[in-house]
Structure 1
Amino acid sequence: MTLEILEPGLSTTVQDRGRFGHYNVGIPQGGSMDQLSAEIVNALVGNSAEEAVLECTYLGPKFRTSAPAVVAVGGAPVEVKVNGATVSQWEAIELAAGDEVSFGFLQGGTRYYVAVRGGIDVPLVLGSRSTYALGALGGYKGRKLAAGDEVPVGDTASGEVLAGIAPELRPAFPGETEIRVLLGLYDHRLTDSGLATLLDSTWTLTPVADRTGLRYSGPAVEWKAREQPFGAGSDPSNIVDAGYAVGSIQIPGGKEPIVLHRDAVSGGGYAMVATVISADMDQLARSAPGTKTRFVAVTMEEAVAARAEGKALRRSIWG
């Protein structure tokens, strides 16, 4: 069973839960940007949560099935078509051999996901099928899909196909959002005014947003003046190199915060003033350019509680 890629879309890649344990040598965790949406479509077709899916960014692909298949599409709202006829998102879709699946324009968000019963069956690389395009690692030949590719599908699914998913469990894609953060490690380098600006301002996501990071526009953030130590850059936002947590917020030069995401580099010389909590990384990934965003500081206890809520939500999906 294969999916023949007739049109690749803008950036369609194979992704799964991610590649863990190699960040210390510069290989990011990767995986689906919006993990919850990817897991839901896997559940709909009877896959485990670990199976690889297609991540479609902005403009989706067009593909043809070589054999009967069951697929599901979820994530950012988009028109889904089978042989030109519109079908529903968030539902299992039965396909015959030779059926063609295509997509319309996004109606919100950034990415949506296509699961196929059996999972996308590309080779495991360092424990994951996820594509890390910058390193030409994993996925389908280490790159985004191209016209003419024959993407293999596995036959390991053992779960039941679901009729659908309750609307209240489906992720939302609002034009305004609040993202919870833990302050640190270098928030002490901001002045009181600078910290207030970060937390009290509404930030707008710019078009400079990809799997590595998302850049926001807004007011300038004030840093404390200091004599920079040896090895740091000349700007107050520079530090002697340090490791970056996934979700770290940097503000180079005091302008345009950047939030590191799934394909983030593992270290560098910009101060991290806060980190998006793990429970909100999916919501961050759902933001389209122009999304109005507030960063809300929470405690470690609140962050852990939010993570537990996310796990409970997933248990309600998988049963």
Structure 2
Amino acid sequence: MITIVDPGVRTTVQDLGRAGTMAMAMPPAGALDQFANRIANALVGNGPKAATLETALTGLTLTTDTDCTVAVTGADVDVLVDGVTHPTWTALWLPAGSELRIGEIRGGAHSYIAFAGGIDVPVVMGSRATDLRSGVGGLGGRALRSKDMLRIGQRTRAVEEGRHLPMRLRPALSASEEIRVVLGVGAHRLNPESLRALTEREFRLAPDADRVSCSLVGETLEIAEPEDPEDTRRPDEVPLAFPLGAVTVTGGAPTCLLRDAVPGRGALAVGTVITPDLDLLAQVKAPDEVRFTAVDIDSALRLRTEHSDFVRTAIRAIA
């Protein structure tokens, strides 16, 4: 068992999420940074579907009553075992009775802590992921609290301490990220100046970001009047579902919908963040900046394939 001493800002149980549930208004949930989550599991010998802990920013402290192997990936943070600093993106030995703490954060926003054997919580709709909005999955569908106890599953194979992801394959964390988007059918409702601003100006992440969405602050985006004078519907009255990664505009500001968001209405959807860049977006925190770059659908599909190949390469390179 592991015991949560201090859950920090927000710690949840996550895995790769629920596939095919959006049609039932159930968000996929799962790790915001899928790459970091998969590498954490690979470092400790878990399969890709094992559950990990996702912690936002800093502050998580836990103890264990059994010897285990752990790995911390994602954000650039201090990892301390009984006060001694250890590297991220590396398999670590955590002796029974020791304390693991996620300390000072230097870059990024979310860390992933994998334990050999995974976090053993009930599977709900094919996943152990926590969906905070609906209260499903994880430990009671909620963020972890002080004194919570979690069972570690049976490890499938032993791994050596010191296994690590080579530096050349680790993501470069930056306070200014380029996020690629495919512009959608709603983009034409922005006036020309605002459409240019969307892809040419930088926006700062607002401090209210969570697992549902992240709001951005910058130049006000204005919605143009419809070309058809008989089209009196507001943008939020057009019945279009929002996919994962949708970039919506409401109140003149763009918002990116993340893994705990559900299809809905009430904003103008102007584009969608491509799959690989959702991992980049997961590691942005206020007041970091993002800049959107438009790509076409063919480029987005090619970039998704290249990213999948890169993930497989990274897992094979762990040594």
- Distance in 2 of aligned mates of 1:49 and 1:209: 27
Contact 2:65 2:97 in 1 (8 A): yes
Matches within 5 A, 1:1-319: 2-158=1-157, 160-161=159-160, 163-226=163-226, 232-233=233-234, 237-253=235-251, 255-319=252-316
Cα displacement string for residues 292-316 of structure 1 (whole angstroms, at most 9, x for unaligned residues): 2111010111111111111111111
- Distance in 1 of aligned mates of 2:85 and 2:310: 29
Cα displacement string for residues 52-107 of structure 1 (whole angstroms, at most 9, x for unaligned residues): 10001112321111111000011111111111111111111111111111121211
List gaps (5 residues or longer) in structure 1.
none
Contact 1:239 1:271 in 2 (8 A): no
Contact 1:63 1:101 in 2 (8 A): yes
Q: How far has the Cα of 1:228 moved from its partner?
A: 8.2
Contact 2:132 2:260 in 1 (8 A): no
- Please state whether the residue corresponding to 1:33 is helix, strand or coil: coil
Contact 1:28 1:265 in 2 (8 A): yes
Contact 1:54 1:113 in 2 (8 A): yes
Contact 1:47 1:159 in 2 (8 A): no
Give the number of equivalent residue pairs: 313
Contact 1:48 1:159 in 2 (8 A): no
- Across the aligned residues of Structure 1 and Structure 2, the Cα RMSD in angstroms comes to 1.6
Contact 1:175 1:292 in 2 (8 A): yes
Contact 2:212 2:261 in 1 (8 A): yes
Q: How far has the Cα of 1:48 moved from its partner?
A: 1.1
- Distance in 1 of aligned mates of 2:280 and 2:158: 27
- Please state whether the residue corresponding to 2:144 is helix, strand or coil: coil
- Please state whether the residue corresponding to 2:130 is helix, strand or coil: coil
List gaps (5 residues or longer) in structure 2.
none
Q: How far has the Cα of 1:193 moved from its partner?
A: 1.8
Counterparts in 2 of 1:40 and 1:228: CA distance versus 1, 3 Å: farther
Amino acid corresponding to residue 151 of structure 2 in structure 1: P
